[in-house]
Structure 1
Amino acid sequence: MFIQIHMLQSMPPGNLNRDDIGQPKKCIFGGVTRSRISSQCQKRNIRLSTEFKDAFGDARTVRTTYLPRMVADELKEKRNGISEDDLKKIKDALAGKFKTEKGEAKKGEAEKGEAEKGEAEKGEAKKGEAEKDQTGQLVFFPPPFAKEIANLILDLRDNKKDVFEAWVNGTKKEKVTHKEDKKHKKAIEDAIEEFEKAMSEKSESLTVDIGMFGRMTTSDLVVNVEAACQVAHAISTHEAIIESDYFTAMDDKNSEFAPTQTKKKAAGFMGAGETVTFFNSAVYYKYLNLDLDALKEHLSWKDNAAVENAASVLVRAAALANPTGKQNSFAAHGIPELILVEVSKTKRPISYANAFLKPVDDVNLMTGSAKALSAYINTVAKAFAPADMRRVLMALGSASVDAKIEEAKTVDTLDALVGSVVQLLKEVAHEQRP
């Protein structure tokens, strides 16, 4: 089973997802500049949404570089006599299983180049201490992973002391000539390999968000997972312009303490340089899909009830989870006025972004966007749509004026949309039975 979600969402002025210079992210599409919300931004907000939390509770991942620190903390709590020296070695051994990401390495080089030699040396020393607590790359871990790794380490120390010592101290590179020494070294290496394999197997226990959004690392300690869910960068359906907010603030005590009448009425602070806030507003086209068969396989689910629940949670979260960037300054909380969900047995992902290859220029951008989307689906996209595709459409407000999508069941609430999606999944699953 395969589900595709298309949305049109108008977002008021804000800076939801900014780039390296503080401006709202953008891209060129159809020859003009579009506002953009990155895929990774949307996935994070879905993963951390109230909908995901309510549905999956603590059975969600932690994305962090601090696995060595977390394992060390678990070992300390167990009070099993592991020395501080061994804890440092354990953290080093775990951190060594992960390569440093290129971005972090370049950042470190740049920071070093900007500092004086003496300060750089101090910084490197402090950085070295910090790196013992970190893996060097962000990785998704299931909640009990650190505790399970700590248990494996304790078991190794208690039952195979020589293997534990070899693991925390690193394998020796010097040549061994004596036959018995070679045999012993090979036994140690095999035991370490078996131990690290056991650690890796603990990462095979997946949570729903890992199953959906995948996990990629350069470490053999953690199993890579191919994402069952694809999320496109959201783009504006029209040309977008970036504006700036010149920030000023008044001093509440100016009228009381300022020495002159001019200063009594003057601003206490006037923005300049980094204090300028950039923003824009846009109607976004959002697209994501979910391969339910892949998700079911990732999580070893035996029935379709869990699959239907995961799909319904994703639809709801995608509709309600907004980016958090600069929200305290803008409160840019918009809701989708059009959501189209497509369900099919055939896995044939099709984004309808090309409906907006020509930028929408209507006075009402939402109405124009809904019209362009409907026209594209009813003409171009239908030539490629799977014969078994079923659709459910929620089009509200301005989006409802020209949203006429062929063979789509229409609903007028999010709850009804989610309920219809679950029903379609049941029907599709029933059709698959022999």
Structure 2
Amino acid sequence: MSRFLQIHLLTFYPPSNVNRDDTGNPKTATVGGVTRLRISSQALKRAWRTSDIFSSALTGHMGQRTQRLGEEVLAHLRAQEVDEKKAVAIAREIAGVYGKVKGDKDAHPTRTEQLVFISPSEREMALSVADRMAAGEKVDLRKEQDILLHRADSTADIALFGRMLAGAPSFNREAAVQVAHAITTHRVTVEDDYYTAIDDLKGDDDDAGAGFLGEAGFGSGVFYLYLCVNRDLLGKNLGDDCDTGVAQAALGALVEAAMTVSPSGKQNSFAALARAGYVLVEKGNAQPRTLAGAFARPVGGHDLMGASIAALKAFRSELARVYGAGVDETCELALGDAGSATLADIVAFCRT
């Protein structure tokens, strides 16, 4: 089996603002001396991980990214009518295994300061250890780390996207998937949408003005996105469950979500629910490489998708001429090409 799976996508988004910056405008980047729209890898991974595709394909194998594990422990102990002060103390102590706990005077004293990925099995063990402590057993949580934390288990999203535990670094997991920020292949100007809202109860005798005035930035373009999967590391992260089909299901869900799931920003205002127009998937053992260099010089013209595909293919061919092919197998999808692969073909290629 080839070690690396590389996925290149070109996706057209109509006027939209799926990923905002701190001013509320679409995120941008300056590339090749011109402004491009940008979608952060964090926004993309969040959209994929929380999609119906992931939840249905990986039922029982999904973790939760949360500050609230201690609150779950506390609720569990309260349901068993454990003394409140004792329950809070136990919940804080267990939550402290996963991260720094907020101060005991905080409004949420059992939450951790950081968001932490928790697997289903780790959650079950946390509740089990809480029961033991509530029953009066003296538990040294430092010695129980191997019970409360797992280096490898069946949690696909942690195996894919990694985890960092500052207080227990030996249980960190390096992400098996690297995801680039998506950028437009061409120059983009961020535009402003001036809009108003009218008071429905305003009568004819009232002033004719709007009840609310606002502005929202938006932009449109063809985005290039690159993902690289280390399949050996994915198997290592999953441990024994790598042989149960979880890895294959995770890879299939990942590529399907990348092709069909859009970030949720301002979707009610723009309905920018896009599908990839071009997908190239490569397998091989050589050092991976992005094809973003194809767009260091922005493409132009009236057919931005066609120009982007042509630029990507030309750049890839030149890399192959100079450095060698670097890949062993490929699968390609292009809208408008009746002979190209389909979504099902791409998913099957990534799973095998």
Give, in angstroms, the shift of residue 269 of structure 1. Answer: 2.4
Give, in angstroms, the shift of residue 249 of structure 1. Answer: 2.2
1:268 is the counterpart of 2:270: no
From the superposition, tell whether residues 92 and 155 of structure 1 become closer, same or farther in structure 2 (CA, over 3 Å).
closer
Give, in angstroms, the shift of residue 326 of structure 1. Answer: 0.4
Give the Cα separation in 2 of the matches to 1:332 and 1:250: 25
Matches within 5 A, 1:277-426: 277-300=216-239, 301=241, 303=243, 305-344=245-284, 346-397=285-336, 411-422=340-351, 425=352
1:220 is the counterpart of 2:168: yes
Larger radius of gyration: 1
**Post-superposition CA distance 1:96-147 (Å, at most 9, x none):** 44237xxxx9xxxxxxxxxxxxxxxxxxx9x933231310100111134333
Deviates more, 1:213-222 or 1:292-301: 213-222
- Gaps of at least 5 residues in structure 1 are 106-124, 165-190, 402-409, 426-434
Give the Cα separation in 2 of the matches to 1:139 and 1:200: 12
Q: Give the secondary-structure state (helix, strand or coil) at the position aligned to 2:165.
A: coil
Q: Is the 8 A contact 1:95 1:136 kept in 2?
A: no
**Post-superposition CA distance 1:64-105 (Å, at most 9, x none):** 11111011112223x1x52101112123324544237xxxx9
| Alignment partner of 2:14 out of 12, 15, 21 | 12
- 1:20 is aligned with what amino acid? D
The equivalent of 1:3 in structure 2 is 5
Give the Cα separation in 1 of the matches to 2:183 and 2:71: 39
- Between the two proteins, the alignment pairs up a number of residues equal to 348
From the superposition, tell whether residues 8 and 259 of structure 1 become closer, same or farther in structure 2 (CA, over 3 Å).
same
From the superposition, tell whether residues 284 and 329 of structure 1 become closer, same or farther in structure 2 (CA, over 3 Å).
same
From the superposition, tell whether residues 349 and 43 of structure 1 become closer, same or farther in structure 2 (CA, over 3 Å).
same
The structure with the largest strand share of the pair is 2
Q: Is the 8 A contact 1:196 1:221 kept in 2?
A: no
Give the Cα separation in 2 of the matches to 1:378 and 1:204: 39
1:91 is the counterpart of 2:91: yes
TM-score, structure 2 length as denominator? 0.90
- 1:93 is aligned with what amino acid? E
Identity across the alignment (%):
35
The equivalent of 1:75 in structure 2 is 77
1:207 is the counterpart of 2:147: no
Q: Give the secondary-structure state (helix, strand or coil) at the position aligned to 2:135.
A: helix
TM-score, structure 1 length as denominator? 0.74
Q: Give the secondary-structure state (helix, strand or coil) at the position aligned to 2:107.
A: helix
**Post-superposition CA distance 1:141-168 (Å, at most 9, x none):** 11343332121132244363xx35xxxx
Give the Cα separation in 2 of the matches to 1:74 and 1:361: 59
Q: Is the 8 A contact 1:13 1:332 kept in 2?
A: yes
1:153 is the counterpart of 2:153: no
- 1:205 is aligned with what amino acid? D
Deviates more, 1:142-151 or 1:90-99: 90-99
The structure with the largest helix share of the pair is 1
| Moved beyond 4 Å, runs of 4+ | 385-388
- 1:416 is aligned with what amino acid? D
Q: Give the secondary-structure state (helix, strand or coil) at the position aligned to 1:4.
A: strand
Give, in angstroms, the shift of residue 337 of structure 1. Answer: 0.8
Give the Cα separation in 2 of the matches to 1:258 and 1:349: 66
Give the Cα separation in 2 of the matches to 1:196 and 1:336: 43
Q: Is the 8 A contact 1:94 1:135 kept in 2?
A: no
Give, in angstroms, the shift of residue 376 of structure 1. Answer: 0.4
Give, in angstroms, the shift of residue 377 of structure 1. Answer: 0.8
- Gaps of at least 5 residues in structure 2 are none
Over the aligned positions, Cα root-mean-square deviation in angstroms equals 2.5
